[in-house]
Each structure stands twice: as structure tokens, then as C-alpha cells.
């Protein structure tokens, strides 16, 4: 879902006549060069009308619902939040941490015990997660059954990404018993399929042990995780999820956890129930 690009600069725009060394000065100094008075280049930036551009920028459109990228420049004169859309810089307020430091989120007291999200460390957690992914009840919907390399690749895409999705173990009274993915729904391909709002935060969940299924633990944890998101992400107004419509226990758990059913959405790999937990209704539902 590409944003609308601004019109092309009108003919005669003086930036079209900049020399290569002037362009380098523009990118590295954060201000356009002084127009040459006698045909010779100048190195002093003007004192008025200066614009600030990052020294470098990388696009991160792959796998997202947008084609924005974050600045990676080191120019101290560049304000935070400059991004590129297409080939042009735009200012936009972005997080340094897209999910407000999930690793620092406090534990939550629940009827089932003390619950905490802990970001995954593959060297520690891969065997456990692989075992869970090979449980037939999990594999039917996650489709990650197979050797450790299958789960490792799924984790790698998140851990080596830009931080828009954080894979976590869910610990109940210190024991790993569930897996969560906390992700920026507004920066995810999901945003192409519903009217996303800035900072919408998504949740994926699986309960690892069969003994923890079918007795309301999933409902309890979904409410707890949604509350953690809303408590630690003040700019987020909604927590969203998109369980497979065929997964009736999952849809029921979201409803019990304070989410409302918003719509059915056709995603590339499933027909999903769009579930939303609104900040404004968190103490009502």
C-alpha cells in the first residue's frame, strides 16, 4: 500500500543543476550548498532556508504495509524521524524502538499466576519452541512443523529485522509455557486488509503445553498481554489480532480476553477474524 508521492519538482528547480560535489555537501552537512557566484563551487551553507537531510537512508519496504524507511545517517544536524517515501525525504515521528522496549515490560499479576514476556533467545529457546511447533494442534495453524531450522528461520526474520515484531516466551510463575509475537500491525502486511491506525499493536499466541489448554489460561494471558501493551505503549489505542476463523478456541479466547470481533478478513494464507481490543473500552469488555 504505497503512499501518494508528491508531484515532481517544476521545471527550472535549481536542485536539478547541482554538481556532484554539491550533492555530497547537501547530504553530509544537512543544508543545500550556496549557489556559486562566479561558476566556482562554495563550501559554506546558507544561514537561512536550510533543509536537513540524513546522510544515508535505507528503505525497509519488504514485508511491510508501507514503503517507508528509517534514516541511518549520523549527521548531528538531522532531526530524528526523517524517513524516505519513494525517493524523497519526509519528516515523520518514529520510535527509536518500534515497540517501546518489550524486554523492559513489567510482569503482570493474573488469576493464573505472575506472567511475564521475555524476548526469545534462539540459543536458549529454540529446542523448546521447535517442540511446540511440532505439536499437531499447533502445527495445524502455525504451519512450522519440522526440524529446528524451520523454527529458526521463522525467528531469524524477526530477530534480524527492524524491530517491528518481537518474538517472546510467555513465562507463568517463571516457567515458559507460551509463545507470543508482539508486532506493529500498522507496519505489517495486515495493514493492507483493515483500516489501520498509527501504533496499532498486534498479538500472535500459542499455548505450549497441552495441560494449559482448554481451561481458560489462553483467555487470561490474552487479557494480560493486551493490558501490558496498553500500559507500556501510550501511543497505541488498539491491540489487534487475526486468528484463523477455523480456530474456534482461539477466537473464543480473544473474545473472553476483552477483544471484540470487528470483521472477517481475507489474508494471503487464511480467512481470519479481525479482533480488536480498544483502549477506550479496556475496562468495559
Does 157 have pLDDT greater than 90? yes
Mean pLDDT of 267-277: 97
pLDDT at 30 over 80: no
Q: What share of the chain is helix, strand, coil (3-state, %, to 5)?
A: 30, 25, 45
d(Cα 253, Cα 245) in Å, to the nearest integer? 12
Q: Confidence class of residue 272 from pLDDT cuts 50, 70 and 90? A: very high
User: How far is Cα 151 from Cα 161, in angstroms, rounded to an integer?
Assistant: 16
Q: What are phi and psi of 181, to 5 degrees?
A: -120, 120
Counting other chains too, the contacts that 174-178 makes at CB distance below 8 Å and 24 or more residues apart are 174/114, 176/118, 176/125, 176/128, 176/208, 177/207, 177/208, 177/209, 177/212, 177/217, 178/205, 178/206, 178/207, 178/208, 178/212, 178/221
Q: pLDDT per residue over 95-150, tens digit each?
A: 458 999 999 999 999 999 999 999 999 999 999 999 999 999 999 999 999 999 99
| Residue 254, H or E segment | helix 248-256
Mean pLDDT (the chain) is 75
Could you tell me the three cell numbers for 66?
Answer: 508501507
Count Cα neighbours of 134 within 13 Å in the Cβ-side half-sphere. 12
> Residues 6 or more apart from 131 whose CB is under 8 A from it?
none
Percentage of the chain beyond pLDDT 90 is 62
CA dist 99 and 91 (Å) reads: 20
Q: Please give the share of the chain, as a percent, with pLDDT higher than 70.
A: 66
> 225: Cβ–Cβ under 8 A, 6 or more apart, which residues?
108, 117, 170, 180, 182, 203, 205, 239
Q: Are strands 238-241 and 270-278 parallel, antiparallel or unpaired?
A: antiparallel
Q: How confident is the model at residue 284 (pLDDT cuts 50, 70, 90)?
A: confident
Amino acid at each position: 500500500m504505497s503512499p501518494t508521492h508528491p508531484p515532481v519538482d517544476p521545471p527550472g528547480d535549481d536542485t536539478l543543476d547541482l554538481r556532484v560535489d554539491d550533492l555530497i555537501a547537501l547530504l553530509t552537512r544537512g543544508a543545500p550548498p550556496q549557489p556559486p557566484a562566479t561558476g566556482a563551487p562554495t563550501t559554506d551553507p546558507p544561514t537561512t532556508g536550510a533543509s536537513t537531510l540524513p546522510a544515508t537512508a535505507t528503505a525497509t519496504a519488504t514485508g511491510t504495509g508501507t514503503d517507508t524507511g528509517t534514516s541511518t545517517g549520523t549527521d548531528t544536524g538531522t532531526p530524528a524521524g526523517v524517513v524516505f517515501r519513494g525517493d524523497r525525504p519526509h519528516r515523520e515521528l518514529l520510535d527509536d524502538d518500534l515497540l517501546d522496549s518489550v524486554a523492559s515490560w513489567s510482569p503482570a499479576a493474573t488469576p493464573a499466576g505472575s506472567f511475564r514476556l521475555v524476548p526469545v533467545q534462539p540459543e536458549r529457546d529454540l529446542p523448546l519452541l521447535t517442540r511446540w511447533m511440532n505439536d499437531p494442534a499447533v502445527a495445524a495453524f502455525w504451519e512450522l512443523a519440522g526440524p529446528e531450522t524451520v523454527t529458526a528461520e521463522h525467528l531469524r526474520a524477526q530477530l534480524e529485522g527492524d524491530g517491528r515484531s518481537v518474538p517472546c516466551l510467555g513465562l507463568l510463575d517463571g516457567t515458559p509455557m507460551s509463545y507470543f509475537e508482539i508486532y506493529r500491525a500498522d507496519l505489517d502486511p495486515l495493514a493492507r486488509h483493515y483500516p489501520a491506525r498509527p501504533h496499532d499493536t498486534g498479538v500472535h499466541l500459542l499455548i505450549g503445553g497441552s495441560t494449559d489448554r482448554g481451561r481458560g489460561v489462553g483467555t487470561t494471558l490474552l487479557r494480560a498481554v493486551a493490558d501490558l501493551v496498553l500500559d507500556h505503549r501510550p501511543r497505541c489505542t488498539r491491540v489487534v489480532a487475526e486468528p484463523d476463523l477455523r480456530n474456534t478456541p482461539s477466537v473464543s479466547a480473544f473474545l473472553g480476553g476483552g477483544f471484540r470481533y470487528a470483521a472477517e478478513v481475507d489474508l494471503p494464507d487464511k480467512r481470519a477474524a479481525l479482533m480488536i481490543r480498544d483502549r477506550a473500552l479496556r475496562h468495559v469488555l
